[in-house]
Structure 1
Amino acid sequence: MPLFRFVFDEGEGLDAITPIAFPDHEAAIDAAHKAARESLIDAVIEGYDPTTWVVRIYNEPGELLKTIFVSDLLRTKTE
């Protein structure tokens, strides 16, 4: 399975996740959306303003596949 890397930019630096294997890029993007929602919940509980946070998903060669803006999760209905 191909490896994908998530990079969380929470305004105070970047947190990169060790590459994780997913069957395809759609599964990786779905997992990144879930991780972004969980970050949003944690931020609110801890009193942070996550509206500028982003999660970027990269494939194995390092190409950016998608950027998830956490603020967009506040405006859209989640599954």
Structure 2
Amino acid sequence: MKLAHYLVIGSATLLLALFIREFLRHATFQSHCPVCKDDHPDRIKRPSWAKALDFIVPSQRFYCYACGNRFIRVGKGMQ
């Protein structure tokens, strides 16, 4: 029983670490593309889990048609 408990905790920790890594890889504080510096990326829909976490970490998702990069802008204020 203890082994199963450790496996569940270990896999949950691994999934959380992967989520944090992916979020930080695509996160920025500016509304322009971090790759090509295009000033006019388009907003895209967020998944429902991201909308549910909006009160903790306000964020907006963008897609840059110039280079194909998807990124997340953290914070609500326009910069």
TM-score normalised by the chain length of structure 1? 0.32
Larger radius of gyration, structure 1 or 2? 2
Q: Normalized per residue, which structure has more strand?
A: 1
